[in-house]
Chain A
Amino acid sequence: MKKIFNLSALILMLSLAACAPSEVDDIFDENAAARLDNAISNYTDLFQANGGRWLMQYFANGDEEGYNYIMNFHGDGTVDISTKNDYVNDGAFFTDKSLWEVVGDYGPVLTFNTYNKAFHVFSSPQSDGKGHEGDYEFRIISVEGDVAHLVGKKTGITVMMTRLSSTEYPTDEDYFNEYTVVRKNAISDRINNLVLTTSGGKRFICNDASSMIWSFYPEDGSLLDNGEYMNAIMTNMGVRFMEPLAFLAEYDETYVESGIEVQNFEFQEDGSLLCTDDGVTRITGPNLADLFHQSQLGWMLSSKEGEFGGDFVTLYNGIVTEAKAKYKTTFNWLQLGYDAAKAKYRLYFKNGKYTGSIYVNHQIVDANTIKFSFDPNAEGAFDPNGQNHYNNLPSMQAMVNLLCTGEYTLTAENVMVSNPMTMTSKSNSANFVVLSF
């Protein structure tokens, strides 16, 4: 009986509680619809404020590089979109006008909802029904100051927009003209083995950076066993990977301890890329001795004024004069490069229609120091033309002797694309040559 009484009382109390008027306070000042409406209005104003010019770092998918777009948002609902990439206008700079809106969808969404020839090529299905599978609608995650974080509605890929200064780049084409130069100077498709040094000092080899589909592996590992890949976008300011390089934490505990994820890199004066997320992680080119050693590069010894110094000037001019006198020819150029097949450096020259080679031995002293030696009696020291010129042109012989005297220090202004590189005699700094490929 008591149980029944208690049960009845419990039911009664629950009913009273369930039916009691709600006393929950609203944590927002406005209802959801009004907040969304305000957000749409605010974002619309923000995008077109201060000239309405933004640089969008756009990723269509996870398998290709990101592309630079300049969005000029106008108050009449139009947007002028500029780009320079291989998929638009045969790679030449291009601008097109279309419409934009901030709409209410899954929260506020920035949409480019009429076709723009510069932009929608990445959303087009093309003949296979897929195309690049890129977004043209983006959920707005945040707009803080001059930075907007968006997420592609279909792909879920994060896309960043930063406000672009009209002072620095008066026209959109100015930005892309500079971009061409920046990209050329920043990364060369002829230089592999870039080095990422983590905050804890661990070194990773980075390849294929010029394609912006970077591969990484620890210096003491291999691409096959430890390879990781990440696509990236280069802007005039630096490089941003599509996603953080989470694999670094597996090798370097400092990232685990700090909780910092490495994703954004900014160009430094020396051309290196410094991570702006932790201020420590850095990407540089290979050390200069290693780069000098790469067989695919043929380093030219420039004879231009200022790119040849000290005795090298005198001797090069002597070679030219002596060649004219001896062979009645015009001496064209002198090149120094590593011949992997012979495991030697080769002084390679062209005199009139003849070419010739003189092979010197080398020793890498340290990361930036190299030393040469030469034995004219050793097997394979010359090819026939090389021997002929070595024997008949005193300045050529003296040039080889000068090259093989003492150590040379290698220096370069740009540590990413170390081209040109200067090779300076340690014993006499007046003797130098500027090498370029």
Chain B
Amino acid sequence: MKKYFKYISAFALVAIAAMSLTSCGEKKLGETIYPDVSDELDPNSYTYKFDKWLKANYLDVYNLDFQYRLKDNETNMNYNLEPATLANAVDIAVLTKYMWFDVYEEVSGSKEFVKANGPRIIMLVGSAAIDPQMGTETVGLAEGGIKVTLLKVNSMNPLNIYAMNNEYFHTMHHEFTHILHQTKSIPRDFQLLSLGRYDAVNWQARDLGVVYSLGFVTKYASSEIREDFAEVAANYITKSDAEWERIWLMASRGFATDGDEESGDMESLSYYCFFYYPNNNPTDENGESTKTFLEERFVQQLEDGTYIYKNQYQRGVTPITTGEDGKRYDANGNLCDNAGFVLDKNGNRVPIVVYAVEDADGVDGVAMLEQKINIVRNWFREEWGIDLDAVRQAVQTRISTFDAAKLEELRQQVYGQ
């Protein structure tokens, strides 16, 4: 019986194996179930000229789908979003090419760099993505190295070049940098520079001067490493010389607050990088410090590098009396004018001296920024063969020469076909 059992078992196993290998073999695939949809554009469509231009300038050249019609399943459904207007979609489409794609073509010498490394999808959203809980506003997104979302398209004014630069061109280069570092990672040196100084939760409540002093180019840069990296590149490319120098100047200063930092209410705190003593007197009559913080707009720097309070002068200590020489003197014997202001030996009123707040955050903001921009610059050159300074130069030239006539010229590429 055991013998039969062996035969039967063997037969069953062979049969099962054979069935598995034969009956369940792969079927030959039939034709696709998807209808053969023509990709030809409909000349009767209202958007024919625009669609034709997008096809010729994005799809055919860069294999890029420029989505100006909003599909909410392409978005984060937790946000309430509105679509872009058609008119603004046309404007942002021509400007994206002019201020981004054409710039890299000019610098790299061909369209290949953007074609190989650029997004495959650019999607437009009319509104910002506002987080109702955090109160933060997202104006751009880069996802998975293939898709860039440009938001707030409906509120743009193409002729306000300052706003366009800060809101849109900056976003384009910021998101493109994300796409690039999603392919080749952010250098380790950069990742270590500001480690421990990022605040992913409350970055928006930080004071701008404070983040400059810590070596960040924007508040958003202080949120996390990858945003820091993208912000350095995007701000370097799009900020004017004056704006860029301003960041460095602020980075060189220290900041202090006259509020209560321990309260935790960061948004209500004001930070200052200057202070003064009323009437140039460090202590009051009780010997307490009279240090008073001052906004930078009230400060004037003299040729010798010292700072004074604009149009504010030291008052004499009362009582002010007339001396034997007929001149007026304060209680400390200082010569005063009739209005009670102290005069110097030349007969001029004595200005209120202003002092810079000591940079006590432990970070050399300028040195930090220098390191960051150098790392980003080298990364672009070594990893991508792109001269970041040339990109900046090309963008700045385009921004400085942009006007209504240029915008109309760009629009005519679409409407004038």
Question: Which A residues contact B (CB, under 8 angstroms)?
Answer: 1, 4-5, 8-9, 11-12, 15-16, 18-21, 31-34, 37, 74-78, 98-99, 101, 103, 105, 111-115, 120, 123-125, 127-131, 133, 136-137, 153-154
11 intermolecular pairs with C-beta atoms under 8 Å apart: A5-B5, A8-B12, A34-B35, A77-B46, A98-B83, A99-B69, A103-B71, A114-B70, A120-B126, A129-B130, A130-B132
Question: Nearest-CB distance from B284 to chain A (Å)?
Answer: 45
The interface stretch among B16-24, B258-266, B366-374 is B16-24
Question: Nearest-CB distance from B396 to chain A (Å)?
Answer: 32
Residue pair B154, A115 in contact (C-beta under 8 Å): yes
Which B residues are CB-close (under 8 A) to A33? 33-35
* Chain A residue at minimum C-beta to C-beta distance from B133: A129
Any chain A CB within 8 A of the CB of B82? yes
Residue pair A120, B132 in contact (C-beta under 8 Å): no
Question: CA separation between A9 and B11, bound complex, in Å?
Answer: 10
Question: Nearest-CB distance from B97 to chain A (Å)?
Answer: 20
Any chain A CB within 8 A of the CB of B47? yes
Residue pair A31, B33 in contact (C-beta under 8 Å): yes
* Chain A residue at minimum C-beta to C-beta distance from B68: A114
Known: A11-B16, A113-B69; 18 extra A-B contacts, CB below 8 A, are A8-B8, A15-B16, A18-B24, A98-B86, A99-B47, A114-B68, A114-B83, A114-B86, A115-B84, A120-B126, A123-B80, A124-B80, A125-B80, A125-B82, A125-B128, A129-B132, A136-B82, A137-B72
Question: CA separation between A166 and B37, bound complex, in Å?
Answer: 35
Which B residues are CB-close (under 8 A) to A21? 23
Contact with A along B55-73 (1 / 0, CB 8 A): 0000000000000111111
Any chain A CB within 8 A of the CB of B79? yes
Known: A19-B24, A120-B83, A130-B80. A153 touches B72 (CB 8 A): yes
Partner of A154, one of B44, B77, B130: B77
Which A residues are CB-close (under 8 A) to B1? 1
Question: Nearest-CB distance from A154 to chain B (Å)?
Answer: 7
Question: Nearest-CB distance from B112 to chain A (Å)?
Answer: 32
* Chain B residue at minimum C-beta to C-beta distance from A19: B23
* Chain B residue at minimum C-beta to C-beta distance from A106: B73
> Would you list the 9 A-B pairs with minimal beta carbon distance, nearest first?
A19-B23, A129-B130, A129-B132, A8-B12, A113-B69, A125-B80, A31-B33, A115-B85, A76-B46
* Chain B residue at minimum C-beta to C-beta distance from A36: B35
Which B residues are CB-close (under 8 A) to A124? 80, 82, 127
Which B residues are CB-close (under 8 A) to A4? 5, 8-9
Residue pair B71, A111 in contact (C-beta under 8 Å): yes
Any chain A CB within 8 A of the CB of B15? yes
Any chain A CB within 8 A of the CB of B81? yes
Chain B residues 1-46 with CB under 8 Å of chain A are 1, 5, 8-9, 12, 15-16, 19-20, 22-24, 33-35, 37, 42, 44-46
Which B residues are CB-close (under 8 A) to A77? 42, 45-47
Which A residues are CB-close (under 8 A) to B73? 105
Residue pair B9, A8 in contact (C-beta under 8 Å): yes
Question: CA separation between A15 and B15, bound complex, in Å?
Answer: 9
* Chain A residue at minimum C-beta to C-beta distance from B17: A15
Contact with A along B330-360 (1 / 0, CB 8 A): 0000000000000000000000000000000
Any chain A CB within 8 A of the CB of B129? yes
Question: Nearest-CB distance from B152 to chain A (Å)?
Answer: 11
Residue pair A5, B8 in contact (C-beta under 8 Å): yes
Question: Nearest-CB distance from A4 to chain B (Å)?
Answer: 7
Any chain A CB within 8 A of the CB of B408? no
Question: CA separation between A9 and B15, bound complex, in Å?
Answer: 10
Question: Nearest-CB distance from A394 to chain B (Å)?
Answer: 71
Q: Which of B72, B82, B85, B86 counts the most chain A CB atoms within 10 A? A: B82
Question: Which B residues contact A (CB, under 8 angstroms)?
Answer: 1, 5, 8-9, 12, 15-16, 19-20, 22-24, 33-35, 37, 42, 44-47, 68-73, 77, 79-86, 88-89, 126-132, 135, 154
Question: Nearest-CB distance from A112 to chain B (Å)?
Answer: 8
Question: CA separation between A155 and B162, bound complex, in Å?
Answer: 38
Question: CA separation between A127 and B137, bound complex, in Å?
Answer: 10
Partner of A12, one of B16, B68, B86, B126: B16
Which A residues are CB-close (under 8 A) to B42? 77
Which A residues are CB-close (under 8 A) to B72? 136-137, 153-154
Residue pair B69, A101 in contact (C-beta under 8 Å): yes
Which A residues are CB-close (under 8 A) to B131? 129
Residue pair B44, A75 in contact (C-beta under 8 Å): yes
Which B residues are CB-close (under 8 A) to A154? 72, 77
Residue pair B132, A128 in contact (C-beta under 8 Å): yes
* Chain A residue at minimum C-beta to C-beta distance from B24: A19
* Chain A residue at minimum C-beta to C-beta distance from B19: A15
Which B residues are CB-close (under 8 A) to A112? 83
Which A residues are CB-close (under 8 A) to B71? 103, 105, 111, 113, 137
Q: Which of B16, B44, B46, B83 counts the most chain A CB atoms within 10 A? A: B83
Question: CA separation between A37 and B82, bound complex, in Å?
Answer: 26
Which B residues are CB-close (under 8 A) to A5? 5, 8
Question: CA separation between A389 and B130, bound complex, in Å?
Answer: 68
Which B residues are CB-close (under 8 A) to A123? 80-83
* Chain B residue at minimum C-beta to C-beta distance from A135: B72
Question: Nearest-CB distance from B90 to chain A (Å)?
Answer: 11
Question: CA separation between A193 and B358, bound complex, in Å?
Answer: 72
Question: CA separation between A18 and B130, bound complex, in Å?
Answer: 53
Residue pair A115, B19 in contact (C-beta under 8 Å): no
Which B residues are CB-close (under 8 A) to A153? 72
Question: CA separation between A254 and B47, bound complex, in Å?
Answer: 55
Which A residues are CB-close (under 8 A) to B19? 12, 15-16, 19
Residue pair B69, A120 in contact (C-beta under 8 Å): no
Question: Nearest-CB distance from B50 to chain A (Å)?
Answer: 10
Question: CA separation between A149 and B358, bound complex, in Å?
Answer: 68
Which B residues are CB-close (under 8 A) to A111? 69, 71
Question: CA separation between A133 and B82, bound complex, in Å?
Answer: 10
Residue pair B12, A11 in contact (C-beta under 8 Å): yes
Partner of A9, one of B12, B70, B77, B80: B12
Question: Nearest-CB distance from A416 to chain B (Å)?
Answer: 36
Question: Nearest-CB distance from B19 to chain A (Å)?
Answer: 5
Which B residues are CB-close (under 8 A) to A19? 19-20, 22-24
Question: Nearest-CB distance from A232 to chain B (Å)?
Answer: 23
Q: Which of B42, B88, B127, B154 counts the most chain A CB atoms within 10 A? A: B127
Which B residues are CB-close (under 8 A) to A9? 12
Partner of A115, one of B15, B34, B47, B126: B126
Which B residues are CB-close (under 8 A) to A18? 24
Which A residues are CB-close (under 8 A) to B81? 123, 125
Which A residues are CB-close (under 8 A) to B37? 37
Question: CA separation between A235 and B344, bound complex, in Å?
Answer: 82
Known: A8-B8, A136-B82. A125 touches B127 (CB 8 A): yes
Which A residues are CB-close (under 8 A) to B135? 129
Which A residues are CB-close (under 8 A) to B5? 1, 4-5
Residue pair A120, B47 in contact (C-beta under 8 Å): no
Partner of A114, one of B8, B34, B69: B69
Question: CA separation between A127 and B132, bound complex, in Å?
Answer: 9
Residue pair A115, B83 in contact (C-beta under 8 Å): yes
